[in-house]
Chains A and B, each alone.
Chain A
């Protein structure tokens, strides 16, 4: 084997062999096929060499142990047989490590995820650093998979059923202190002492010493006694309630965990291998893996040579949106001037951010000092003082073109010439906003989603005049804010709002036809949306939705489509949604009572008498309305790529991730299938379902959006 491509280096110190994982040319260690024989060879040598007493697995990378398995490899293994073979090869290696006659120690600093964590679980002793970069996770569930390298078997035996289920069903990060407490780590030390600590413990283990391990009493009871039945049942119920049966991986994880603590080791492992292999080939997993790659690929869009200065960001408007943007900006290390009409209003937004940080302090995620330092990056203000040094200003003021023009003029009077102006409008065309600018080439849209801290998408809108430098600076800011960025061309509603509009319109029309509010929401949740359209409208605000419908209405009218006027009428009648407890639902139920359908709303939709509409009809009409509009966005060159369309729909609007986004969904179902369905809907409901030309074209040549 060519030494240059070796994954592993060895160093021997005091009878201990350090197996250094250092994948050449990569920032992260990733488990691939080539590593398996290499490690076997090394282990052969160690077994045969009496001078070596123990082995330490340690990474040669500065901030990761092993980031996981090579997901690209999964995609290349195109038959279940090939997949199973690879899985068994990996498991054979880990079983060898587990049964190795000499102690094997995992010494971990930095990211330790997926297959990397499973390697650690097979070792005899685990040391982790207390560094903030160090975290452990089994995120396979996010890819529609389960940990297939013994993770489902070894973890519950090590930390107990409840903790193991929590880790594997959520895919969440476990930080060093938590890991030590639950027994995932045997020892914690600081970054610079890792190697020495590993060396010392390796020598100790070589003498026959064994670490004492004890699972917390409650977790032990829920693992080893009849009580585990209750824990597993509860987990199944929670999973069912959350996924509505749309995701096959979580139930398999629970079953595998059950096997780990009830069946023989052999049976447990067999189950895991078979479940893993079958999950890899589910369309759900395929879609989630594609989503993962799309998110990773979206980062490559950034051209670092085109990034301008962005040290200070001005945010106009300290409401929910503005303070959310300020919050994530500070999180990205930017200094933020948070301006509202007066200091009191700005301070109110700031208080909200501080309180969120203080909650983290309460949970000991950050220290009081870290809270102070982060919150100090945000400076609430009632005037434009300090904006002389703003590199980027993001406005989140009221959605009215005159007001946008007014603040734009105010901003341009104080900011330096290079300052970029971004509008967080959800519907007003950026070109119209830029028309009021002295520097229209520095104007663009940065469309965030509410709540900003939680929603992963940023839709950046460029006009014909926007410079590359302005665009890439905004992309960089968005990425530092922790967002997945898509870039679209300007137009009414851009991409996300535009495809949401016909979706919402269809929900309104269904109500007018007599469908029940909760039936519509239930059907769409069952399809895989996180919330139904009417709950969403209550959350966004019916007034906002009415405004958007107004802006979008003109666009649809050009196509001969007459939209529902219901949102407008509701808004005029004082219905604003959740914020004034007057929406499709009421929220003021006492004692945490669940929201209830607001029966009064039906008077706007032909009275309280409802008629049954099957979930399939609801799902088909709403889904197809959105899919077709996404196609039109691609056709009109609002979208630059189908990948952006899929990311935007999933991350911004909650399009079911396991369906892969509108374009993946079309590819999966076949363009002609979608065409036929739209054609049928057009026959039933009119021109608004007229299939996009681009779809007709695709159907004709049986093409795929992803080649």
Chain B
């Protein structure tokens, strides 16, 4: 199998939904990041074999947003592009799909990333009205209109807002997290403390310019004032403020609040991955090997967001690594309670026995190596774009912190989970 390397990764600054990118479509966000990735790398765009973008909430006009965005970004017409969806790990799925193409010799250069906007989600009409409208194609005269309108109640005319609800269990993700946190003994104050840590680390990292390698400015039409930094980070947050918030999902005694959850975010990210030989042949500098990866799935009812606790031991076993070998951990932070539940599970013998069929716990993940530049709680979580951000940040940290091995893991709706091992390239 060919070795796959990450050559570059970038993202546009993540913005709270309804702010910096409120007038843009996901297509626009993807277009900006794809264009930036192309311009900052000395590659012939016609040599790109595939463009794969992850995305969760689909705009009906651009269902294959990867293709539309690539065309809009001025990529050659001849480069195939497709969109993958796997909830919050969609761009991880994009990256691993690209890796598979490269490993099996079907591609040498792949652009993989993801995009999400929550500012302009498709708001649908009620099912009853939708059905009527589909029938309306057969309308011939005013009589038909009346016939079709018959039986519709005023409430049927109201729009239907999408919510982040699990289709199978009808639970909101916040409710699931509340369950998970309680199950793994995570307290409210632990969650608030973790959220505070995420915001403070992100603010520090931004201040120290640690995102300069991954952030590309977004020029937003029509005046093209550059958006250059993430706007969801609250470095000035305090425990006092966080602990004063009311539970958002399980009322009145739940532990998950708006303050210890990730917020609705717009953003896009992209990576340039290649076979190692192609990268070196082109005279480009690889940053890291993309190594073993895995996907896991479990019961979406009780363990919806527990995926990393299963994926991490599995991928580490496959790679033959111990927790102590890993220099850089990047975990997706859907909720503080979810992250802490995963950490507790990894440190628990009974979890190891019950879930992994192993005699002893995987071990603790040292916090000083994990998410040291903040995470989804503070930087934001544009569903489809987070995975490529995690990989890019992990690789940049490996280089900046002079480490060798990195590990990225994330949970996703549907009870899905993902983990991937990264190794710094000797040339980086």
- Chain A 320-349: CB-based contact to B (< 8 A → 1; otherwise 0): 000000000000000101000001100110
Q: Using Cβ atoms and an 8 Å threshold, which residues of chain A touch B221?
A: 351, 354, 358
Is the CB–CB distance between B39 and A379 below 8 Å?
yes
Q: How far is the CA of A347 from the CA of B227 in the complex (A)?
A: 11
- Chain B 24-49: CB-based contact to A (< 8 A → 1; otherwise 0): 00001001000110011111110000
Q: How far is the CA of A374 from the CA of B72 in the complex (A)?
A: 8
Given contacts A372-B72, A376-B72, A377-B74, contact A351 B224 (CB under 8 A): yes
- Chain A 86-122: CB-based contact to B (< 8 A → 1; otherwise 0): 0000000000000000000000000000000000000
Is the CB–CB distance between B35 and A376 below 8 Å?
yes
B356 within 8 A of A: no
Q: How far is the CA of A369 from the CA of B62 in the complex (A)?
A: 12
Q: Using Cβ atoms and an 8 Å threshold, which residues of chain A touch B224?
A: 347-348, 350-351, 354, 380
B73 within 8 A of A: yes
Is the CB–CB distance between A343 and B39 below 8 Å?
no
Is the CB–CB distance between A343 and B217 below 8 Å?
yes
Is the CB–CB distance between A351 and B222 below 8 Å?
yes
Q: Using Cβ atoms and an 8 Å threshold, which residues of chain A touch B45?
A: 335
A296 within 8 A of B: no
Given contacts A351-B224, A373-B72, A376-B73, contact A381 B44 (CB under 8 A): no
A389 within 8 A of B: yes
Q: How far is the CA of A460 from the CA of B412 in the complex (A)?
A: 59
Determine how close the nearest CB of chain B comes to the CB of A706; give it in whole angstroms: 44
A residues 357-385 in Cβ contact with B at 8 Å: 358, 369, 372-374, 376-377, 379-381, 385
Q: How far is the CA of A374 from the CA of B228 in the complex (A)?
A: 23
Is the CB–CB distance between A344 and B226 below 8 Å?
yes
A560 within 8 A of B: no
Is the CB–CB distance between B40 and A386 below 8 Å?
yes
Determine how close the nearest CB of chain A comes to the CB of B110; give it in whole angstroms: 19
A349's closest neighbor in chain B, by CB? B224
A388 within 8 A of B: yes
Determine how close the nearest CB of chain B comes to the CB of A535; give it in whole angstroms: 31
Is the CB–CB distance between B219 and A347 below 8 Å?
yes
Is the CB–CB distance between A380 and B31 below 8 Å?
no
Is the CB–CB distance between B40 and A385 below 8 Å?
yes
Q: Using Cβ atoms and an 8 Å threshold, which residues of chain B touch A376?
A: 31, 35, 72-74
Q: Using Cβ atoms and an 8 Å threshold, which residues of chain B touch A380?
A: 219, 224
Taking residues whose C-beta sits less than 8 angstroms from the other chain, chain A's interface range is 20 to 34
Residue from the set B44, B74, B221 with the largest chain A CB neighbour count within 10 Å: B74
Given contacts A350-B219, A386-B39, A386-B40, contact A335 B226 (CB under 8 A): no
Determine how close the nearest CB of chain A comes to the CB of B265; give it in whole angstroms: 23
Q: Using Cβ atoms and an 8 Å threshold, which residues of chain A touch B31?
A: 372, 376
Determine how close the nearest CB of chain B comes to the CB of A103; give it in whole angstroms: 37
Is the CB–CB distance between A351 and B223 below 8 Å?
yes
- Chain B 50-92: CB-based contact to A (< 8 A → 1; otherwise 0): 0000000000000000001001111000000000000000000
Given contacts A385-B40, A389-B42, contact A369 B222 (CB under 8 A): no
A355 within 8 A of B: yes
Q: How far is the CA of A378 from the CA of B40 in the complex (A)?
A: 13
Q: Using Cβ atoms and an 8 Å threshold, which residues of chain B touch A335?
A: 39, 45, 74
Given contacts A379-B35, A386-B40, A388-B42, contact A373 B74 (CB under 8 A): yes
A372's closest neighbor in chain B, by CB? B72
Is the CB–CB distance between A369 and B72 below 8 Å?
yes
Q: Using Cβ atoms and an 8 Å threshold, which residues of chain A touch B222?
A: 351, 354-355, 358
Q: Using Cβ atoms and an 8 Å threshold, which residues of chain B touch A355?
A: 222
Taking residues whose C-beta sits less than 8 angstroms from the other chain, chain B's interface range is 20 to 34
Is the CB–CB distance between A369 and B71 below 8 Å?
yes
Determine how close the nearest CB of chain A comes to the CB of B51; give it in whole angstroms: 14
Q: How far is the CA of A335 from the CA of B36 in the complex (A)?
A: 12
Q: How far is the CA of A358 from the CA of B71 in the complex (A)?
A: 18
Determine how close the nearest CB of chain B comes to the CB of A318; give it in whole angstroms: 11
Q: Using Cβ atoms and an 8 Å threshold, which residues of chain A touch B225?
A: 344, 347
Q: Using Cβ atoms and an 8 Å threshold, which residues of chain A touch B42?
A: 386, 388-389
Is the CB–CB distance between A311 and B44 below 8 Å?
yes
Q: Using Cβ atoms and an 8 Å threshold, which residues of chain A touch B74?
A: 335, 373-374, 376-377
- Chain A 381-398: CB-based contact to B (< 8 A → 1; otherwise 0): 100011011000000000
A residues 169-186 in Cβ contact with B at 8 Å: none
B residues 12-27 in Cβ contact with A at 8 Å: none
B69's closest neighbor in chain A, by CB? A372
Q: How far is the CA of A373 from the CA of B68 in the complex (A)?
A: 10
Q: Using Cβ atoms and an 8 Å threshold, which residues of chain A touch B223?
A: 351
Q: How far is the CA of A167 from the CA of B43 in the complex (A)?
A: 46
A residues 224-275 in Cβ contact with B at 8 Å: none
- Chain B 259-282: CB-based contact to A (< 8 A → 1; otherwise 0): 000000000000000000000000
Q: How far is the CA of A377 from the CA of B73 in the complex (A)?
A: 7
Q: Using Cβ atoms and an 8 Å threshold, which residues of chain A touch B39?
A: 335, 337, 379, 381, 385-386
Determine how close the nearest CB of chain B comes to the CB of A518; give it in whole angstroms: 39
Determine how close the nearest CB of chain B comes to the CB of A184; give it in whole angstroms: 32
- Chain A 116-150: CB-based contact to B (< 8 A → 1; otherwise 0): 00000000000000000000000000000000000
Q: Using Cβ atoms and an 8 Å threshold, which residues of chain A touch B41?
A: 386
Q: How far is the CA of A554 from the CA of B165 in the complex (A)?
A: 79
A residues 483-512 in Cβ contact with B at 8 Å: none
Q: How far is the CA of A507 from the CA of B225 in the complex (A)?
A: 43
Residue from the set B40, B73, B224 with the largest chain A CB neighbour count within 10 Å: B224
B residues 215-235 in Cβ contact with A at 8 Å: 217, 219, 221-226, 228
Q: Using Cβ atoms and an 8 Å threshold, which residues of chain B touch A351?
A: 219, 221-224
A379's closest neighbor in chain B, by CB? B39
Q: How far is the CA of A50 from the CA of B40 in the complex (A)?
A: 69
B75's closest neighbor in chain A, by CB? A376
Residue from the set A350, A358, A386 with the largest chain B CB neighbour count within 10 Å: A386
Q: Using Cβ atoms and an 8 Å threshold, which residues of chain B touch A344?
A: 225-226
Q: Using Cβ atoms and an 8 Å threshold, which residues of chain B touch A372?
A: 28, 31, 72-73
Q: How far is the CA of A377 from the CA of B45 in the complex (A)?
A: 12
Q: How far is the CA of A369 from the CA of B71 in the complex (A)?
A: 9
A343's closest neighbor in chain B, by CB? B226
Determine how close the nearest CB of chain B comes to the CB of A350; give it in whole angstroms: 6
B223's closest neighbor in chain A, by CB? A351
Q: Using Cβ atoms and an 8 Å threshold, which residues of chain B touch A354?
A: 221-222, 224
Q: How far is the CA of A388 from the CA of B41 in the complex (A)?
A: 8
Q: How far is the CA of A650 from the CA of B217 in the complex (A)?
A: 43
Q: How far is the CA of A311 from the CA of B228 in the complex (A)?
A: 28
Determine how close the nearest CB of chain A comes to the CB of B30; give it in whole angstroms: 11
Determine how close the nearest CB of chain B comes to the CB of A388; give it in whole angstroms: 5
Q: Using Cβ atoms and an 8 Å threshold, which residues of chain A touch B68?
A: 369
Residue from the set A344, A369, A372, A389 with the largest chain B CB neighbour count within 10 Å: A372
Determine how close the nearest CB of chain A comes to the CB of B128; give it in whole angstroms: 33
Determine how close the nearest CB of chain B comes to the CB of A235; give it in whole angstroms: 38
Q: Using Cβ atoms and an 8 Å threshold, which residues of chain A touch B228?
A: 343
Q: Using Cβ atoms and an 8 Å threshold, which residues of chain B touch A348?
A: 224
Determine how close the nearest CB of chain B comes to the CB of A338; give it in whole angstroms: 10
A337's closest neighbor in chain B, by CB? B39
Q: How far is the CA of A372 from the CA of B73 in the complex (A)?
A: 7
A344's closest neighbor in chain B, by CB? B226
Is the CB–CB distance between A347 and B72 below 8 Å?
no
Determine how close the nearest CB of chain B comes to the CB of A484; give it in whole angstroms: 27
Q: Using Cβ atoms and an 8 Å threshold, which residues of chain B touch A347?
A: 219, 224-226
A355's closest neighbor in chain B, by CB? B222
Q: How far is the CA of A379 from the CA of B34 in the complex (A)?
A: 12
A330's closest neighbor in chain B, by CB? B74
Q: How far is the CA of A574 from the CA of B93 in the complex (A)?
A: 62
Determine how close the nearest CB of chain A comes to the CB of B216; give it in whole angstroms: 10
Determine how close the nearest CB of chain A comes to the CB of B72; give it in whole angstroms: 4
* CB pairs A–B below 8 angstroms (7 shown): A343-B217, A344-B226, A348-B224, A372-B31, A373-B71, A373-B74, A376-B31
- Inter-chain pairs besides A335-B74, A373-B72, 12 sampled, C-beta below 8 Å: A343-B226, A350-B219, A351-B221, A351-B223, A354-B224, A369-B68, A376-B35, A379-B36, A379-B39, A380-B219, A386-B42, A389-B42
A-B CB proximity, top 8 nearest: A376-B74, A389-B42, A372-B72, A351-B224, A379-B39, A347-B224, A388-B42, A386-B39
